Chains A and B, each alone.
Chain A
Amino acid sequence: MNVVVCVKQIPDPATPYKLEEGTSWLIRPEDQVLDDTDRYGVEMGLQLAQESEGTVTLVSMGPTGNAQGIRQALAMGADRAIMIEDDGLRGSDALTTARVLAAAISSEAFDLVITGTESTDGYSGVVPQMIAELLGAPALTYATKVEVGDGVVTIHRQTAAGYDVVTSSTPAVVSVTAGVVEPRYPTFKGIMDAKKKPIENKTMSDLGVENRLAQEVAKITNAPEREAGRRIEDEGDAHTEIVALLEDRKVI
């Protein structure tokens, strides 16, 4: 079974993010890391491909830099990567991203496309569904468990109450949650071997896609500072106050 895994390089979350003046676009340094949420998709892809002696191809959009983040995924065991980098894609929105990724994926022979649920630097959370629509493939989202056999993919789809069991034929697009599988650490040997694995670079014109920029960042503001906590002295009726407080916040 051949699996395509969508992955993204993001600036190291441990360092403060910087935004470009004017556009408010994220400034992406040369050294980027694999988005942590993608490690689950890569691991899932590796496990499924290994069962059937298939391949895992990574597809990624964004500035390549030194490809450090992609090599992290290659070091885990993926076979090859396709990277789409184009100045014209700067500031692209979710739909453009999905168009680019879908165009790159459509030239691959795949049984399954795996994605995370959302990227850590963008958080739109709609790209997987858009890719599926553009590929004309079913979208199975928020998977906490994935099984594939005889041209059928079955997932546990996370819900507020528990999970739904969802099946479809392949090829299909599956978005996986953190925890669907335990991602492996690359071995040192895997790291050294990763640099020998092929990374194919593509541009918008290679894929025949345009960036129809439909999104503009209107304003960026700091998140409000956390307010100080409130102390409730218990004079026998604290529980009623706490219950009222929780109800007010729709926790209960």
Chain B
Amino acid sequence: MRSIYIDDDLEAIRLNVRDFVEREILPNVETWEAERAVPRELLNEMGKLGFFGLRIPEEYGGIGLGHVASLLFAEELGRCTSGGTAITAVVHTDLATPYVTNFGLREQKEHFLPKFASGEMITAIGVTESDAGSDVQAIRTVARPDGDGWVINGSKMFITNGGFADVVFIAAKTNPEVKGSRGISIFAVEKGTEGFSASRAIDKMGWHASDTAELVLADVWVPQTNLIGEENQGFYYIMHNFQNERLAVMGLALGEAQKALELTVAYVKERKAFGKPLWDKQAVRHRLAMRQAEVDAGRELAYKAAWMMDQGMDAVREVSEVKAFVGEVDNRVMYDCVQFHGGMGFAAESIIERMYRDARIASIGGGATEVMLDYAAKRL
């Protein structure tokens, strides 16, 4: 039964995305994993179908839905069995474009949002550095005023879509004299801008189809119009969007965990040991039932948190709790799914082996479990 937070429109969107994932993504993910990249044609197609306009207001070419829609969209993409493919789209829709949707000036919205919605421009978010992840105030990239623009210097690490994105939103210190939280701004830096380059693609344990780059900014000049929203407000923008980002990556984790459970239940019902299907063994089916219970619980709390955000309520505690919970559940699910696939689960040719590797980031990316639990603990 569908969640009480899902109305008919959202259910129709879910069906549509599920169909697209099953027909257009699932049959190709092995190729994309091997090629270490998602083809641009896929992103163009998703843009054409309106996938990227989910959160973008109608006047800029989207359909202007809310956080519940983001969660549902990510959940369905998460079912594609390639975390790297799914995150490529979700970084664009939920981690990067909201900086313009939520905080951009009118001219910035007019310039960027229709292109973001159509997929003509794909985006990335450049906050993380080698010494600054969740601790955003510790970033070292700086921007100083220069004529009618800014000159940015620094580097960014683990930037998903960083190597191919048409626009990266770069967090830089614009006032080094004050406390970090009061002196950070966000700049739109377009691909091809002089001094801006991806210095290397980072090889990873999972998410092989995803482009993860280290970015270098050497005397990159951007005009004042590329400063998103207001000067020195970047830290608040980032903190605000972290909530959305966490919901989206949680959606991916819920979708992939659900898919892995479905694959595993089907497998243990077929696979026989000592004359009977593995499913006939109580230890196997009880453990899978418990993992399903955890996924179901996580999903409902995630939707509740998303719904609260759509109502304009503070949901930091709920988002933090459920991000921590779902990230850990996803990993437990994958552990058991590999276990019950036996030797096949350890073979690199199996889907579940890839899903196991992909799930490892679920308790790290978008805020590590430990950081999330501290956020939640502060609000107990």
- Asked if A157 is at the interface (CB within 8 A of a chain B CB), the reply is no
B8 in contact with A185 (CB, 8 Å): no
Residues of B within 8 A of A8 (CB): none
Residues of A within 8 A of B9 (CB): 191-192, 195
Residues of A within 8 A of B62 (CB): 188
Residues of A within 8 A of B50 (CB): 187-190
Binary CB contact string for chain A from 72 to 103 against chain B (1 if under 8 A, 0 otherwise): 10010000000000000000000000000000
Residues of A within 8 A of B12 (CB): 68, 71-72, 75, 186, 191, 194
CB distance from B299 to the nearest CB of A (A): 17
A188 in contact with B2 (CB, 8 Å): no
B8 in contact with A68 (CB, 8 Å): yes
Q: Which B2-16 residues have C-beta < 8 A from chain A?
A: 2, 8-9, 11-13, 15-16
B54 in contact with A188 (CB, 8 Å): yes
A31 in contact with B11 (CB, 8 Å): yes
A185 in contact with B20 (CB, 8 Å): yes
CA of A110 to CA of B54, assembled, Å: 37
CA of A192 to CA of B11, assembled, Å: 11
B49 in contact with A187 (CB, 8 Å): yes
- Asked if B366 is at the interface (CB within 8 A of a chain A CB), the reply is no
CA of A186 to CA of B15, assembled, Å: 10
CA of A72 to CA of B12, assembled, Å: 7
Residue of A nearest to B16 (CB): A186
Number of interface residues of A (CB under 8 A): 17
CB distance from A24 to the nearest CB of B (A): 24
A191 and B48 in contact, given A31-B2, A68-B8, A185-B19 (Cβ under 8 angstroms) = no
CA of A113 to CA of B332, assembled, Å: 53
CB distance from A83 to the nearest CB of B (A): 16
Residues of A within 8 A of B11 (CB): 31, 68
Residues of A within 8 A of B20 (CB): 185
CA of A195 to CA of B48, assembled, Å: 20
Residue of B nearest to A29 (CB): B1
CB distance from A9 to the nearest CB of B (A): 12
- Asked if B327 is at the interface (CB within 8 A of a chain A CB), the reply is no
Residue of A nearest to B12 (CB): A191
CA of A66 to CA of B10, assembled, Å: 13
CA of A33 to CA of B11, assembled, Å: 11
CB distance from B80 to the nearest CB of A (A): 15
B15 in contact with A188 (CB, 8 Å): no
CB distance from A4 to the nearest CB of B (A): 23
The B interface, classified by DSSP as helix, strand, loop or mixed, is helix
Contact of A33 among B15, B51, B53, B54 (CB under 8 A): B15
A185 in contact with B49 (CB, 8 Å): yes
CB distance from A15 to the nearest CB of B (A): 11
- Asked if B63 is at the interface (CB within 8 A of a chain A CB), the reply is yes
Q: Which A161-195 residues have C-beta < 8 A from chain B?
A: 185-192, 194-195
CB distance from B222 to the nearest CB of A (A): 32
A188 in contact with B8 (CB, 8 Å): no
Name the residue in A66, A72, A187, A191 with the highest tally of chain B Cβ atoms < 10 Å from its Cβ: A191
Residues of B within 8 A of A31 (CB): 2, 11
Residue of A nearest to B54 (CB): A188
A191 and B2 in contact, given A68-B8, A185-B49 (Cβ under 8 angstroms) = no
A72 in contact with B15 (CB, 8 Å): yes
CA of A72 to CA of B13, assembled, Å: 10
Residue of A nearest to B23 (CB): A185
Residues of B within 8 A of A188 (CB): 13, 16, 49-51, 53-54, 62-63
CB distance from A68 to the nearest CB of B (A): 7
Residues of B within 8 A of A195 (CB): 8-9
Name the residue in B8, B12, B54 with the highest tally of chain A Cβ atoms < 10 Å from its Cβ: B12
A192 and B16 in contact, given A68-B11, A187-B50 (Cβ under 8 angstroms) = no
CB distance from B172 to the nearest CB of A (A): 34
CA of A195 to CA of B10, assembled, Å: 12
CB distance from B94 to the nearest CB of A (A): 15
Residues of B within 8 A of A185 (CB): 16, 19-20, 49
Residues of B within 8 A of A33 (CB): 15
A191 in contact with B19 (CB, 8 Å): no
CA of A31 to CA of B51, assembled, Å: 23
A75 in contact with B16 (CB, 8 Å): yes
Binary CB contact string for chain B from 199 to 227 against chain A (1 if under 8 A, 0 otherwise): 00000000000000000000000000000
Name the residue in B15, B49, B63 with the highest tally of chain A Cβ atoms < 10 Å from its Cβ: B15
CA of A12 to CA of B192, assembled, Å: 47
Residues of A within 8 A of B15 (CB): 33, 68, 72
CB distance from B11 to the nearest CB of A (A): 7
Residues of B within 8 A of A72 (CB): 12, 15-16
CB distance from B77 to the nearest CB of A (A): 14
Residue of B nearest to A188 (CB): B50
Binary CB contact string for chain B from 19 to 31 against chain A (1 if under 8 A, 0 otherwise): 1100000000000
Given contacts A72-B16, A185-B49, 10 further A-B contacts (CB under 8 A): A66-B8, A68-B11, A72-B12, A75-B16, A185-B19, A188-B51, A189-B53, A190-B50, A192-B63, A195-B9
B-side residues, CB < 8 A to A, are 2, 8-9, 11-13, 15-16, 19-20, 48-51, 53-54, 62-63
A-side residues, CB < 8 A to B, are 31, 33, 66, 68, 71-72, 75, 185-192, 194-195
Interface CB pairs A-B, < 8 A, 19: A72-B12, A72-B15, A72-B16, A75-B16, A185-B16, A185-B20, A186-B16, A187-B49, A187-B50, A188-B13, A188-B54, A188-B62, A189-B63, A191-B9, A191-B12, A191-B13, A192-B63, A194-B12, A195-B8
Shortest 5 CB-CB distances between A and B: which pairs?
A188-B50, A187-B50, A191-B12, A187-B49, A188-B63
